[in-house]
Amino acid sequence: MIAYGVITEVPAPETGHNMAAAMPLYTVTDDGIQVEALTGEVGLIMLLNLRSEVFTLGEILILDDPHGREISGKGRKPSKWGVTCETFATISEAIARAKEVKTW
């Protein structure tokens, strides 16, 4: 079963919720092994952490109803990111709600 979701609340960026790494970051250790920098490996001199919002206010999603995960794109799950997502049975209802919460 499919549901249409609308992101109706997003936390402030400084909370750290609804923020994810914008790109994978890697470094190379002294022995030439490439490791993911976000793991916090010992010996890193500097770590650059670029983050961006996962969901935006008023965004419309097509969700698989039992799990609340989007069925296209990256398969994001709103409940994982601290955002509020209201669900609707029809796309028309979702569009109407998105227009109410979207700030231009």
Sheet holding 69-70, edge to edge: 69-70, 60-64, 2-9, 84-88
Say whether 7 sits in a helix, a strand or coil: strand
Q: Could you report the per-residue pLDDT of 36-90, keeping only the tens digit for each?
A: 655 555 554 455 567 788 999 999 999 997 788 999 888 999 999 999 999 999 9
Mean pLDDT of 88-103: 93
Q: What is the structure's pLDDT at 30?
A: 66
Q: What is the pLDDT of residue 70?
A: 93
Residue 55 to residue 57: CA distance in whole angstroms: 7
DSSP string, 60-98: EEEEETTTTEESSTT---GGGTT-EEEEESSHHHHHHHH
**pLDDT for the residue numbered 73:** 80
pLDDT at res. 37:
56
